[in-house]
């Protein structure tokens, strides 16, 4: 636990707004020098020093806990310290990126000697409710918080300089568990929008289509949407507009500043970057007359190049005057569009992003003689970085929530590309801190930090299976036995709950809210009453948990279930003959449903059919995005999430590297051609940024360079290069003991390969000769990096 010296958690004693409360806290420091801010908050905070943004947070964690951010800076003299805190909440209590608990703020400021200069709960800190942000506004998506909608005057932010009527605060009585933040902090590096690419009039489009995200949001949050005042709705307005030729005037005052005189319609200005990034949109603006400013962001253009309104915009009502504005929400941005609704002149600077992602220092690297593979690797790395901060996020804007299953693939990618385990540690701990007595059969939530109206609801049930498999892999990667043992009881409670689902068949039956893949594998007739792929995954988790916790009874149960699965009628005997589901009738099993590629991939991933050469041959060569043989029409095809990624991992485990590389290129090069430098959730998606694709980069390192996952537990790394027709490859991987350097050069015509490997002190390697290198002359040059 984190030890707080003096600070106590506080919140407003009285609040005018019931939902989505917005609070301001202020103190003044008189002493120059280095200071450390220790901050915790719910839901989110923004820290300012002398009116300039210094940090945003917090690192998210479980209900009834708070992680304490520690932020250091140098003060030159007297300093005004201000913090905005939003406490998001809706009647449905449904959200994927925060717990929607009651508001809370804790902060203590320490000097270089550790003396507390100011602490909440003392008289140094002042408070007021901030009413310039509207509290009842449409949500960004079905599972996120509210849009930003502000009513501002040039004096709205004066409270940050101590000019305000202050209000009473009260101590928070709830018992909080304070935890350290282990994940790295973002840098807030400014990223300029690289070019202004258009200025238009915005007019009503009578052919505008329905807004699916908003419809979905209303479906999930009906009570909340019923209390939003009509004047606070604006998403449909901006989505129903289209761009036409500009009728006003624009003058460029400097390379980054523009003076705009609107025409007869609102003015739309578009800026863009080469690739998507995530950060806070930051800019200055001066308005001659009252102005409504809509700030839109997106990672893609429409089918015909338009930048249309969407559900991630921010709206500002500005009184005449000058403003420096920074969005409170992080934005996934390749394009920024300002829509100016005013009759007066506007002076605006080119916006920039204050980067809010994982601070990738490029400690680990990869490159090879194949430029296409290098492009895919970099896109996978970018995708993972934009989705990684304090937790692994499904995506950096629509949800920002941490999903199990995704994280099974984020973990190895983060370790191999970033050399970092801190995010994975905190991500797993958040789930492991959930109360088993509150959750259905002691399962884990599907996504967390997040919340449902009923604490018992866990969502997709078999996502909990992936937590155990990832925890096992994390242990191999980290060797952190203390962490594993700390949560042994929580894992035991989950497995006890899972095994109550075993029926007469000996397998898990009628698993509710199950998931395999966004494909036909997820149809009810494939999931019930017995879903074979998910039972295979259950066997896998039991085997891993038994090894990790030395539980022979779990291994015995796993073997019993494995025997039943392997004995199912026709199980794996004839490709395409067996459906994904099964039923036990009159003491006999029957396979039902449809055989699917995703189901087959999950069964193989879980350790089944590995001796069945016909099964594997058909899976490898007659499925996938670019099969060598004609696919069996009786097998349902997979999607990217998550069946295709499972397939990629299976191909890697089977040593089918050339097939893997061909499929990675087939899927991802098209996304890079059409997209924004990131990788998408679905095969037919037009845009997106989804973290699980980071594993593609790790697989390239594993299979092309041949540098396996460094295992801190045993201090070993497996070396198995697959040069194909490449001439060279080079890469590095971080460990707790230092860096692994590896490169090779290949002469395919001469069947000769030279591998150079440098290992930290105490590390050893295991060499595996792939089948395609049989008969090659292989030379391995090894040296130690011991100091």
CATH number of the structural domain spanning residue 326:
2.60.120.260
Query: Last residue of a domain, which of 637, 667, 686?
Result: 637
CB atoms within 10 A of CB 592: 17
pLDDT tens-digit series, residues 19-63: 999 999 999 999 899 999 999 999 999 999 999 999 999 999 999
- Statement to judge: residues 269 and 162 lie in one domain: no
Please check whether residues 174 and 200 belong to one and the same domain: no
Q: What is the 3-state secondary structure (H, E, C) of 84-120?
A: EEEECCCCCCCECCCCCCCCEEEEEEEECCCCEEEEC
What pairs with residue 752 in β-bridges? 747, 777
Query: Pick from 308, 331, 355: which residue ends a domain?
Result: 355
Give the bridge partners for 717, in sequence order: 765
What pTM was computed for the model?
A: 0.96
Which residues of the chain fall below pLDDT 50?
Answer: 572-574, 576
Q: Which two tokens stand for residue 761?
A: 């002190």
- Domain residues for the domain of 87 are 10-131+152-180
Q: Are residues 527 and 556 in the same domain?
A: yes
| 650 inside domain | no
Residues 6+ apart with CB under 8 A from 230: none
CA 141 vs CA 94, 118, 144, 145, 218: distances in Å = 11, 38, 5, 8, 9
User: Is residue 515, in this structure, part of any structural domain at all?
Assistant: yes
* Alpha-carbon span 300 to 303, nearest angstrom: 9
Domain boundary among 355, 384, 413: 355
Instruction: For the chain, report the end-to-end CA distance as a whole number of angstroms.
Output: 35
Q: How far is 637 from 709, CA to CA, in rounded Å? A: 30
Q: Is residue 747 part of a domain?
A: no
Q: Is there a single domain that holds both residue 620 and residue 549?
A: yes
Helices 597-605, 532-549: crossing angle, 10 deg rounding: 20
In a domain, 196, yes or no: yes
Report d(CA 783, CA 741) in Å as an integer.
Answer: 10
What number of residues does the chain have? 787
Residue 416 in domain: no
How does DSSP classify residue 512? T
Q: Are residues 34 and 53 in the same domain?
A: yes
Distance CA 402, CA 388 (A): 10
Strands (E), 435-480: none
160 plus 252 within the same structural domain: no
pLDDT, residue 346, reads 98
Same domain? For 19 and 165 the reply is yes
Are the beta carbons of 284 and 348 closer than 8 angstroms?
yes
Domain membership flag for residue 232: no
Per-residue DSSP letter, 703: I
Number of structural domains, the chain? 3
One domain for residues 334 and 246: yes
pLDDT for position 786: 63
| Same-domain status, 176 and 263 | no
Which residue in 213, 217, 191 sits closest to 308, CA to CA?
213
* 610 and 539, same domain (yes or no): yes
Residue 486 lies in a domain: no
* Spatial contact of 68 and 9, defined as CB atoms under 8 Å apart: no
Regarding whether 290 and 173 lie in a shared domain, the answer is no
Our CA dihedral for 747, 748, 750, 756, rounded to 10 degrees, sits at 40
Please, is 746 exposed, middle or buried when counting C-beta atoms within 10 Å of its C-beta (0-12, 13-18, 19+)? buried
Q: Do 65 and 165 fall into the same domain?
A: yes
- Asked if residue 256 is part of any domain, the answer here is yes
């Amino acid at each position: 636990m984190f030890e707080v010296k003096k600070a106590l958690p506080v919140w407003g004693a009285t609040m005018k707004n019931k939902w989505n409360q917005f609070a301001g806290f202020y103190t003044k420091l008189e002493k120059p020098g280095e200071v450390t801010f220790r901050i915790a908050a719910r839901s989110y905070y923004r820290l300012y020093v002398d009116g300039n943004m210094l940090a945003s947070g917090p690192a998210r964690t479980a209900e009834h806990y708070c992680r304490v951010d520690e932020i250091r800076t140098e003060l030159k003299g007297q300093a005004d310290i201000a913090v905005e805190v939003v406490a998001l909440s809706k009647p449905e209590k449904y959200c994927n990126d925060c717990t929607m608990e009651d508001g809370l703020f804790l902060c203590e400021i320490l000097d270089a000697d550790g003396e507390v200069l100011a602490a909440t709960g003392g008289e140094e800190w002042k408070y007021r409710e901030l009413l310039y942000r509207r509290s009842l506004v449409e949500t960004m998506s079905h599972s996120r918080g509210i849009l930003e909608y502000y009513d501002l005057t040039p004096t709205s932010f004066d409270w940050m300089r101590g000019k305000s009527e202050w209000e009473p605060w009260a101590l928070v009585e709830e018992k909080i568990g304070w935890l350290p933040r282990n994940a790295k902090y973002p840098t807030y590096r400014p990223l300029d929008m690289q070019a202004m690419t258009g200025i238009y009039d915005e007019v009503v489009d009578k052919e505008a289509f329905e807004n699916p995200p908003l419809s979905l949001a209303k479906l999930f949050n009906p009570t909340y949407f019923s209390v939003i005042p009509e004047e606070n709705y604006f998403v449909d307005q901006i989505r129903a507009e289209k761009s036409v030729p500009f009728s006003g005037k624009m003058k460029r005052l400097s390379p980054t500043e523009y003076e705009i005189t609107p025409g007869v319609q609102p003015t739309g200005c578009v800026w863009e970057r080469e690739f998507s990034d995530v950060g806070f949109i930051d800019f200055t603006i001066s308005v001659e007359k009252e102005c409504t400013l809509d700030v839109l962001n997106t990672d893609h253009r429409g089918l015909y190049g338009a930048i249309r309104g969407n559900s991630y915009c921010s709206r500002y009502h500005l009184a005449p005057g000058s403003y420096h504005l920074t969005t409170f929400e992080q934005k996934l941005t390749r394009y920024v569009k300002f829509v100016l609704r005013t009759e007066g002149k506007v002076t605006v600077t080119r916006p920039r992003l204050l980067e809010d992602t994982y601070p990738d220092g490029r400690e680990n690297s990869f490159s090879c003689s194949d430029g296409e593979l290098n492009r895919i690797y970099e896109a996978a790395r970018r995708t993972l970085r934009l989705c990684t901060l304090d937790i692994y996020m499904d995506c950096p804007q629509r949800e920002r929530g941490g999903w199990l299953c995704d994280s099974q693939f984020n973990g190895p990618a983060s370790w191999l590309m970033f050399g970092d385990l801190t995010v994975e540690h905190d991500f797993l701990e958040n789930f492991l801190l959930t109360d088993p007595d509150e959750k259905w059969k002691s399962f884990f939530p599907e996504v967390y930090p997040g919340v449902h109206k009923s604490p018992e609801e866990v969502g997709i049930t078999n996502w909990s299976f992936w937590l155990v498999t990832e925890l096992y892999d994390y242990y191999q990667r980290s060797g952190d036995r203390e962490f594993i043992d700390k949560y042994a009881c929580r894992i035991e409670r989950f497995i006890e709950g899972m095994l109550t689902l075993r029926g007469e068949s000996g397998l898990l039956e009628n698993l509710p809210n199950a998931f395999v893949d966004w494909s036909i594998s997820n149809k009810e007739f494939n999931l019930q009453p017995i879903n074979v792929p998910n039972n295979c995954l259950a066997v896998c988790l039991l085997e891993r948990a038994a090894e990790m916790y030395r539980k022979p009874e779990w291994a015995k149960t796993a073997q019993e279930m494995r025997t039943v699965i392997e004995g199912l009628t026709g199980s794996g005997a004839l490709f395409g003959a067996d459906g994904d589901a099964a039923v036990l009738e009159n003491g006999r099993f029957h396979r039902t449903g449809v055989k699917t590629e995703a189901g087959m991939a999950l069964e193989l991933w879980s350790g089944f059919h590995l001796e069945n050469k016909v099964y594997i041959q058909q899976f490898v060569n007659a499925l996938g995005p670019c099969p060598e043989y004609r696919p069996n029409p009786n097998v349902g095809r997979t999607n990217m999430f998550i069946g295709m990624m499972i397939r990629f991992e299976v191909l890697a485990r089977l040593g089918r590297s050339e097939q893997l590389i061909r499929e990675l290129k087939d899927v991802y090069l098209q996304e890079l051609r059409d997209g924004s430098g990131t990788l998408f959730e679905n095969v037919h998606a037009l845009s997106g940024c989804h973290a699980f694709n980071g594993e593609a980069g790790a697989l390239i390192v594993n299979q092309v360079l041949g540098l396996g996952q460094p295992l801190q537990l045993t201090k070993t790394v497996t070396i198995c290069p697959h040069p194909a027709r490449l001439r060279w490859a080079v890469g590095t991987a971080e460990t707790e003991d230092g860096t692994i350097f590896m490169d090779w050069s290949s002469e395919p015509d001469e069947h000769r390969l030279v591998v150079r490997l440098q290992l930290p002190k105490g590390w050893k390697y295991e060499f595996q000769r792939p089948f395609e290198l049989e008969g090659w002359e292989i030379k391995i040059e090894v040296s130690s990096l011991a100091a």
